[in-house]
Structure 1
Amino acid sequence: MTKAAALLLAGGMALSACASDEEPGGTASETGGSGSEELRIGLAYDTGGRGDRSFNDSAYAGVERAIDEFGGTVQEFSPNDDGSNRAEGLANLAQEGFNPVIAVGFAYDEVLGDVAADFPDTTFAQVDGSVDAPEYKGDNVTGLLFAEEQGSFLAGVAAALKSETGQVGFVGGVETPLIQKFQAGFEAGVAAVDPAITVNSQYISPAGDFSGFNDPARGEILAQGMFDAGADIVYHASGGSGTGVFRAAAASGGRAIGVDSDQYQTVDDPALQAVIMTSMLKRVDNAVYAFIADFVEGGVEGGTDIVNDLSTEGVGLATTGGFIDDIQDQIDDYRQQIVDGDIEVPTTP
């Protein structure tokens, strides 16, 4: 067992809010801590960059934790709006001697293999990208994957147990197989509690258009339509667009379920914080930290995927705010059934 697996089994530290006044994507930043300053980490973000209060921030939290423990620096890269400079960004990090280089998001699928081949002495990892998809990326790449459908199932259980109208919603950022895992798990969790509850699932943008992860206005429009149609709880898997979902919930007197980070802790507006009943935790921070720890200790195997699920606490539900305390026993029962294999959660809607 690698240290990554062991650390995920242990759970790890609670995710901290990662928003910073420092502009990401341009300069190296150094965090205090003991250890060798030779550790130089390259972090290539997904659409929206650091400050999304969700996916990218969680990845940065893992890097920040590693630097606190081992010392070193991090160089951040944020892609342009159309993502056309992703390959260049990765290559520049490797060329400048940052190692390991961590790519955040499946959008790097098409370029990471070629970049990794050009820099065989650099160790790469990809969050939400398999070593074998769309084709084998190389022995110097590790895939950091998650059972999003399992955590989303628990979000569906919570929504079904808390819904008073018998209608709930799901807002996805981009209609891709990855985000469809969130949808599938959520719908299955709702149905497990009460198949009579209606789930309205919609996407902000189609496959190939990544703007859906950074379009709060459109997220608000979709969610508002769901609330207007009778939904009282909406779950989003839409990155930075989730702020719009929270605004719609606040305007409608409804509830929202966040994603990736504990978004109750990361939003600034108390009015939005008050509507977030829970968040589906995708512990990107734990996975990134554990990968870096393995790298520091020489334990990265490469050419393999590490899957983080409910059994390793790689996914789960946040309890901050106490909104789901009264149903925690039921949520825990469903969780155990999934871990034991009694419930197999679908990955497609």
Structure 2
Amino acid sequence: MNTKLLVALVIVIIAVAAAALLLLQQPQQASTQTTQTPSKGNIYVIYDIGGRGDLSFNDMAYLGASKAAKDFGLGLKEVQSKTQDDYVPNLRATARSGDAALVVAVGFLMTDAVKQVSQEYPNAKFAIIDGYIPDRPNVLSVLYRENEGSALVGALAALTAYHFNCTKVGIVLGMEIPVLWKFEIGYAYGVRWAERYLSQKFGKNVKFDVLYIYTGSFNDPAKGKQAAEVMLAQGVCVIYQAAGATGLGVFEAVAEAGKKAGRNMGPPFAIGVDANQDYLKPGFILASMMKRVDVGVYTAAKMAVEGNFKGGVLELGLKEGGVSVSTLNDLQQFIEIGVSAGAVRREDADKIVATVSDMRSKIPSWIWEAVDQLKQDIIAGREKVPLPTAQDQVVQLRKELGLGVAG
């Protein structure tokens, strides 16, 4: 055979073999890529330093993100921030991944980091919970009218205290940041509304002391317990916690005080926050002011997937279902969160529901009806709960509403 013809034939055989090998490899590569990254991308959740397992704010964000991932065919990637120095690196890593359908920053403390990274990555979509960044086309600021929901539990606290012949209520908070002013002032407003209600309904001139403490932390149950113990020692009988995982210590203090007094349910009572936390110390948690972070995260993801995402502000209050007072109907769902976190045993679920139901049945119906009246008045605009946005406003409102520092 001609040497040139033989060389050419060998080259053709090699080329055909290489092409066949390439065709055999392609389906396997495509399958791996599809498994690792859904076609619609991932929803990334950057948690605040409290992290998953707080049974509160961060866990509510996970609830919304996991539902969105399931409903919209997204992958779910969770990123924990150990310190505030992690915010920018975590956000950058997710934004440059190339597979982020949406990056969710959970918490006000990430505001500056989101401002920086969203400018560096203008094509990435960001949603920030509680941060106010109104002028970026790629950032959706999800805000809540916590002042409205806090007013409801403020009224509930005062009216329940009155029923048990007590005139002192309190609120334990985390770090003093603007979003928490809404909890503090809204709560006090609800207490003062209760005073007016009692005057109109019963002709009673009742004056409540409203005490507050900022613990400086969202992740220190010991500080929450200490703050609650200070209030209990001063005669406070209902304590609202707005402190993330720090507030778990409030529940401990209240339940211990009740059991020490020989009771299996309040008073004293605590009031939970963000999630339905009524199951954590059943019988001693009067209700929870639910802040539906899950609804905000889910809505932002829906907008991103459906191509309707745009920067600006999404504000959720009583009217939109963004805040509410916990009910027995949603209790079971949140018990499951507790089970997943190892805070509740599954075999205790039925007993917990029965205890919470029993406790609520002992609160007179007129109290729950009064709280609902306030809710309807707020939605209709007949009652306007103050919304502080600056330090001088908070100082003035504290004076007008008669708040005092505990201790």
On whether the aligned pair clears a TM of 0.5, the verdict is: yes
Partner of 1:262: 276
User: 1:251 aligned to 249, 256, 263, which one?
Assistant: 256
> Which amino acid in the other structure matches residue 220 of structure 1?
K
What is the Cα deviation at residue 336 of structure 1?
0.9
Q: Does residue 1:289 correspond to 2:298, yes or no?
A: yes
8 Å Cα contact 1:75-1:93 kept in structure 2: no
The letter for the 1-side match of 2:142 is L
Amino acid at match of 1:339: I
Q: TM-score, normalised by structure 1?
A: 0.82
- Deviation string 1:4-46 (CA, Å, 9 cap, x unpaired) is xxxxxxxxxxxxxxxxxxxxxxxxxxxxxxxx65330111111
User: Secondary structure of 2:215's partner?
Assistant: strand
1:200 and 2:200 equivalent?
no
Pair 1:325–1:96, CA change in 2 (3 A): farther
**1:70-89 alignment, distance < 5 Å:** 70-81=72-83, 83-89=84-90
> 1:162, CA displacement in angstroms?
0.4
Shift of 1:197: 0.8
**In structure 1, distance between residues paired with 2:103 and 2:294:** 15
Does structure 1 retain, via aligned residues, the 8 Å contact 2:170–2:212? Answer: yes
Q: Secondary structure at 1:100's aligned position in 2? A: strand
**2:186 partner SS:** helix
Higher alpha-carbon deviation: 141-150 or 113-122: 113-122
Maintained 8 Å contact 2:40/2:305: no
Q: 2:249 is matched by which residue type in structure 1?
A: G
Q: 1:139 and 2:137 equivalent?
A: yes
Mapped to 2, the partners of 1:84 and 1:142 lie a distance apart of 22
2:221 to 209, 212, 216: 216
Deviations 1:31-85 (A, max 9, x none): xxxxx6533011111121111000000000000111121222111111123x112
Any idea what SS the aligned residue of 1:345 has?
A: coil
Instruction: Please say if residues 241 and 273 of structure 2, whose CA atoms lie closer than 8 Å, have aligned partners that are also in contact.
Output: yes
Deviation at 1:221, TM superposition (A): 0.3
Partner of 2:127: 125
| 8 A contact 2:40–2:101 mirrored in 1 | no
Aligned to 2:177: 176
> Which residue does 2:238 correspond to in 1?
233
CA–CA separation in structure 1 for the residues paired with 2:144 and 2:256 = 33
For 1:74, the aligned partner's letter is L
Structure 1: runs of 5+ lacking an equivalent: 1-35, 206-211
> Any idea what SS the aligned residue of 1:102 has?
strand
AA matched with 2:227 = L
Shift of the alpha carbon at 1:287?
1.1
Q: Shift of residue 325 of structure 1? A: 7.3
**How far apart are the structure 2 equivalents of 1:245 and 1:126?**
28
CA distance in 2, matches of 1:196, 1:319: 28
- Indicate the RMSD between aligned Cα atoms, in angstroms: 1.6
Q: Is the Cα contact below 8 Å between 2:111 and 2:133 reproduced in 1?
A: no
Residue 309 of structure 1, aligned match among 317, 322, 331: 317
- Return the letter of the residue paired with 2:308: G
Alpha-carbon distance in 1 for matches of 2:112, 2:295: 25
Q: Are residues 1:347 and 2:381 paired? A: no
Indicate if the aligned counterparts of 1:37 and 1:73 stay in contact, CA closer than 8 A.
no
Corresponding residue number in structure 2 for 1:273: 282
Question: Whose radius of gyration is greater, 1 or 2?
Answer: 2
How many aligned positions are there?
298
Secondary structure in 1 matching 2:319: helix
Cα separation, 2, equivalents of 1:105 and 1:69: 24
Mapped to 1, the partners of 2:128 and 2:87 lie a distance apart of 13
- In the alignment, the residues of structure 2 paired with residue 37 and residue 275 of structure 1 have an alpha-carbon distance, to the nearest angstrom, of 47
Q: Distance in 2 between matches of 1:156 and 1:287?
A: 24
The amino acid of 2:63's aligned partner reads: A
| Per-residue CA distance 1:203-234 (angstroms, 9 max, x = gap) | 101xxxxxx10010010000011111101110
Distance 2:120 2:177 in 1: 28
Task: Indicate the SS of the match to 1:213.
Answer: coil
8 Å CA contact 1:41, 1:101 repeated in 2: yes
Whether the 8 Å CA contact 2:101–2:304 is kept in 1: the answer is: no
- Kept in 2, the 8 Å contact 1:319–1:325? The answer is no
For the structure 1 residues 116 and 189, does the alpha-carbon distance in structure 2 shift closer, same or farther, using more than 3 Å as the test? same
Percentage identity across paired residues of the two chains: 36
- SS at 1:328's partner residue? helix
Aligned mates of 2:39, 2:156 — CA distance in 1: 44
AA partner of residue 243 (structure 2) = S
More helix by share: 2
Normalised by the size of structure 2, how large is the TM-score?
A: 0.71
Give the 3 Å change call, closer, same or farther, for CA 325–312 of structure 1 in structure 2: farther
